[in-house]
Structure 1
Amino acid sequence: MPDSKPPLPPFTAETARRKVQAAEDAWNSRDPERVALAYTVDSQWRNRDVFLCGREAITEFLREKWRRELDYRLRKELWAYTDDRIAVRFEYEWHDAEGRWFRSYGNENWEFTPDGLMSKRYASVNDVPIAASERRLAPRCGPFA
């Protein structure tokens, strides 16, 4: 399958963890096109109060997100899984153009097609202002370490 995205369902604890790590790595690249390739062309999203449908809309959403959320750094944690679904909790840190830092917390529910592409992503997110000195997810070495 040329458009497949391993690991493929049905998930085990190990393959679900690998899928979550792959998502974390892709999102930390801050490359909208790379991230969008993990989703079906007609993927359904809810991100906060925004509802999207399709890879093109996802790509544009991510471009705008990373124009606003600067120095974005994310951590995801596997919460639960079934044959073709994964739930994660996450936190990420970022700052706005004025230099104000935030930590965003949330949960996501994912559903996958047999080829490993995500067909549904529902995310609930809350932002908390933090001081730069309170950052926990700062890169250790270089921008993507």
Structure 2
Amino acid sequence: MSPMPVPPFDAETAAAKVQAAEDVWNTCDPEKVAMGYTDDSVWRNRDSFIVGRDQIIAFLRQKWQRELDYSLRKQLWAFTGNRIAVRYQYESRDPAGRWWRSYGNELWEYDDAGLNSRRESSINDVPIIESERRIFGRRSDADRGRDVIDLR
């Protein structure tokens, strides 16, 4: 396994960081996801303010109890030094069986060890019908690097 990319980021390491984040989030494993964040990481996720791995884990457990069959695609938007901006889309269904596509932008800040110390996320949800789904499971090798807006 290759070492975790650390700042300062270049185009290759920033893209690798984004793909690694997508891969781990698609596991829907809160503990595994939280290991990519500092012990005191600060999040803003929609209208929630979260601090630290324990709160991240609790938040993600609740998230994936209400966002079932979650499947995510992230794309590098910009980077500089120890910061990365991404845009993303994910699809999920709620416990009542309604499908949603969520569109978001995130701003990430990393410590010197390559752990995410700050995450700012803005997300909009759009109801879809199941036949409109276009994101399924983990990204295939052939799909890696594709622009999220190409997923039509």
The runs of 5 or more residues in structure 2 that have no matched partner are 139-152
Partner of 2:60: helix, strand, or coil? helix
- 1:87-102 superposed matches below 5 A: 87-102=85-100
- 1:1-145 superposed matches below 5 A: 6-139=4-137
Partner of 1:33: helix, strand, or coil? helix
**1:115-136 per-position Cα deviation (integer Å, ceiling 9, x unaligned):** 0000000000000000000001
Partner of 1:25: helix, strand, or coil? helix
TM-score (norm 1): 0.92
TM-score (norm 2): 0.88
Matched-pair contact (CA < 8 Å) for 2:26–2:137: no
**1:76-117 per-position Cα deviation (integer Å, ceiling 9, x unaligned):** 000000010000000000001111000000100000000000
Matched-pair contact (CA < 8 Å) for 2:87–2:106: yes
Partner of 1:138: helix, strand, or coil? coil
For 2:144, the equivalent position in structure 1 comes to none
Quick one: which amino acid aligns to residue 111 of structure 2?
A: T
Partner of 1:29: helix, strand, or coil? coil
Q: CA deviation at 1:139?
A: 3.4
Report the Cα distance in structure 2 between the residues aligned to 1:137 and 1:23, rounded to whole angstroms. 16
RMSD across aligned positions (CA): 1.3
Query: Identical aligned pairs, as a percentage?
Result: 63
Report the Cα distance in structure 2 between the residues aligned to 1:93 and 1:18, rounded to whole angstroms. 22
Report the Cα distance in structure 2 between the residues aligned to 1:33 and 1:138, rounded to whole angstroms. 22
The runs of 5 or more residues in structure 1 that have no matched partner are 141-145
Aligned residue pairs, count: 137
